[in-house]
Amino acid sequence: MAPVPAIGEIAPDFELPEAYGGMVRLSEAAAGGLVLLAFYPSDFGIMCTVEMKMLQSLLPKFEDLHTAVMGISTNSVFTHSAWKGSMKFTFPILSDFDGRVSDSLGVFVGEMAAAGYMLGRCMRAVFIIDRDMVVRYFWVTEDHASEPDYDELLDVCARLDRGSD
C-alpha cells in the first residue's frame, strides 16, 4: 500500500465508474474547483450511511464553496446504484472495485485489517484536492466508526475557496 500523500503533494489522477453510469476523472473534476473525496468502507453500512447523509445535507454549502463531493468505496457499481437510489444521494458515488485508487492514496485495507475494517475495503478517509491536483487536506482514521469533523471540512474549503490558504 502506498503511503497517504502529504499535504502539498500532487494527488494521483484516476478515473472510476459512477453508480449511475459514466466515468469520473479526478483531474476533470478538479479543473472546476475543489474536490472532496470521501472514502468509506461499505455501502449500506450504518456509519457509512450516516456520513454520506451528512455530506448530502451539507452539499449546498460545499457547492457554494466550489467544492465537488464524491463518495468512493470498493463496492460494485451495482451495489452503489441500489444504495445511492435508496438514499437519494445526488453527488457521485464511485466504485474502486479493485482497490487501486484507495491503495494509491494509502487507505486500502489489503494486507492486515485495521481495527474493525474488512480486508479488501478502504478505510474511512477524506481528501480535499485543489484545482492543481494538490492535496490540501486529509483525514484518515483506523476507527471505522469515526466521522470526519464536518465543520472543519467546510472551514478548509472556505479558506481554499477564498484563496487564503
User: Which fold would CATH assign to domain 15-147?
Assistant: Glutaredoxin (3.40.30)
E runs forming strands in 33-91: 34-39, 67-73
| CB hemisphere CA count around 56 (13 angstroms) | 15
pLDDT tens profile 28-49 = 999 999 999 999 999 999 999 9
Query: According to the model, what pLDDT value does residue 115 have?
Result: 54
Please give the Cα distance from 31 to 79 (Å, whole number): 29
Supply the pTM of this predicted model: 0.94
Is 73 strand, coil or helix?
Answer: strand
Give the Cα separation of 162 and 165 in Å (integer).
8
